[in-house]
Structure 1
Amino acid sequence: MLSAIILTKNEEADLPKCLESLTWCDDVHVLDSGSTDKTVAIAEAFDAQAHIHPFESFGKQRNYALDNLPIKYEWVIFLDADEVVTPSFKEALFNAISHAPQEVAGFYCCWKMILDGVWLKRCDNFPKWQFRVLRKDRARFTDFGHGQKEGDVDGKIAYIKEPYLHYGFSKGWSQWIDRHNRYSSQEAVARIQDQPPFKHIFSGNQSARNPALKSWLSRIPGWPFLRFFHAYVLKFGFLEGKPGFIYCTNMAYYEFLIQIKMREILQKRFEKISK
């Protein structure tokens, strides 16, 4: 009834937990982009089908999976290796696809961000919607910043409101900081080159509103501090204890990296034009 696709690279620490949450699925695909650890062996040990394809971007990798993997079912769910399907999410997922009218091409899903065993509901501005479930041949992905969003969609996108779990810090803060330093470079370029119209800030569709908010707010002096203040104080993130403070501080730092890299890009453009 449902096929699952997991994108991986060196995910031997997280992949087992993800695959254990999918033992009910008889069509699991792991699309690896050149792991040097035991990721592929772990996938095979769980009877998942392992495939290898060089990574270009998240959007392109997901589209490659849709176009080239031997997907068994009409419905497909995309997961990351640090994400876990709960029994409640599984039930909501099957209920959604079982009763979806033909005009529904896919679903937005949301996660519970977990840090040190604490659900960062307030700090992470729950719910954050991502396009993760779709009918095969009815939707595509497109790149945005360091990640992806829905591209061409033949039909409507509905919502699955029951969240799955996301362990985004499972590899430690050193790895998170290294990864987000790379991501900030991609985000800086995207927020300048792909700036949505200002009116999208008022869109009722979060997938349209959030990219616009990120792009326009990044231009406000002091935005990293405002990002911290909004999540930690105004959204009551301080109620989530030390994990909440650590998370909000690092997300503010991430926005600071994006902002200074945007400034650097714009300065170089100005210098080039002035010559």
Structure 2
Amino acid sequence: MLDLTVVILTKDESLHIARCIELIKSLTSNIILIDCHSTDGTQAIARSMGATVIEHEWPGNQAAQFNWALDNIKIDSEWILRLDADEYLLPELIDEIKERLPKIPVDVNGIVFKRRHIFMDRWMKGGIYPVKMLRMFRNGHACYEQRMMDEHLKLLKGGSIEFENDFCDHNLNNISWFCKKHIDYAIREAAEMLNTEYNLSGNAEIESGLDEQACKKHKLKQAYIKKPLFWRSFAYFTYRYFFKGAWRDGREGFLFAFLQGWWYRTLVDAKIFEIKKKCGNDTDKIKNHLKEEYGITL
């Protein structure tokens, strides 16, 4: 077993949690769930598979929940791996971790993996693959940046390296669940984009310590924000579907690019349009509106 702890954030993940744990058990027995009061049997499944379950109220976003775990849970291992319940490591990545982790140079504190999206049981090879994410780090050397959406782990010191093989984001819920999730995401994404545009929080700059793709993604989003409402969501879909090759992934590829790339981004723009109609460019009004209407404090 490796000197590694896996931390998984959960809320009603009985559909996924057994798969996630089963595929990481060969790496470590130190598996911790930070669970937000699941009622569907998630906790019992995890405990039956040897995981430790700690309940903690949802603080509003994944970054805050994971940072709470780092600050409050005793973790003795050298390395920490962060996973979602609907994610899993491919066998090739598991073998690579077993082989390479004990040999990592002391000046390397983070490891970047490639994430592949499995949508409607099909690998989305076009559009956005590969998404490269810092997901493994030396204990005490990383935390999440403070964002409501699209948050990334950042290194506090030291460098990172990239592994060759993939992990998967493979949610087994239906399309209705997928759409509802993105409806819930839309107001947080809108608030994040308004914060970037107007610096509502006073601290909207890109944080240091992020890996290369995370920095690039944030810079692209800053450029995206400057483009006209609604037109930009269509342009983003066109780029993903035609130029990045999502069309090669069949009907599933069209649905994934359309729902996540055009429909969702249009919904975010609709939220921004609605807020600006009520508040104009008055930053105080925007902040008060977000707090009173959606419970979002910046």
TM-score greater than 0.5 by the shorter chain: yes
Report Cα offsets for 1:108-142 as digits up to 9, x if no partner.
2221111233210112x111122211111111112
Say whether the 8 Å CA contact 2:116–2:131 is kept in structure 1: no
Give me the whole-angstrom Cα distance separating, in 1, the residues matched to 2:256 and 2:232. 16
Give the match for residue 216 of structure 1.
223
For residue 124 of structure 2, the aligned residue among 103, 112, 120 is: 120
Give me the whole-angstrom Cα distance separating, in 2, the residues matched to 1:139 and 1:197. 19
Report Cα offsets for 1:13-41 as digits up to 9, x if no partner.
11111111112121111110111110000
**Which of 212-221 and 183-192 deviates more?**
212-221
Indicate how the Cα distance of structure 1 residues 93 and 194 shifts in structure 2: closer, same or farther if over 3 A, else same: farther
Structure 2 residue ranges without an equivalent (≥5): 198-202, 286-298
For residue 64 of structure 2, the aligned residue among 57, 60, 66 is: 60
Shift, 1:197, TM fit: 9.3
Say whether the 8 Å CA contact 2:8–2:34 is kept in structure 1: yes
Give the match for residue 172 of structure 1.
174
Indicate how the Cα distance of structure 1 residues 48 and 225 shifts in structure 2: closer, same or farther if over 3 A, else same: same
Mapping of residues 1-275 of structure 1, within 5 Å: 1-24=3-26, 25-56=28-59, 57-123=61-127, 125-151=128-154, 153-168=156-171, 170-195=172-197, 205-221=212-228, 222-251=231-260, 252-270=262-280
Say whether the 8 Å CA contact 1:110–1:128 is kept in structure 2: yes
Structure 1 residue ranges without an equivalent (≥5): none
**TM-score normalised by the chain length of structure 1:** 0.90
Give me the whole-angstrom Cα distance separating, in 1, the residues matched to 2:99 and 2:186. 37
**TM-score normalised by the chain length of structure 2:** 0.83
Say whether the 8 Å CA contact 1:27–1:71 is kept in structure 2: no
Give me the whole-angstrom Cα distance separating, in 2, the residues matched to 1:213 and 1:145. 17
Sequence identity (%):
25
**Which of 56-65 and 74-83 deviates more?**
56-65
> Secondary structure at 2:9's aligned position in 1?
strand
Indicate how the Cα distance of structure 1 residues 273 and 197 shifts in structure 2: closer, same or farther if over 3 A, else same: closer
Indicate how the Cα distance of structure 1 residues 258 and 53 shifts in structure 2: closer, same or farther if over 3 A, else same: same
**Which of 207-216 and 21-30 deviates more?**
207-216
Aligned residues: 271
Say whether the 8 Å CA contact 1:83–1:164 is kept in structure 2: yes
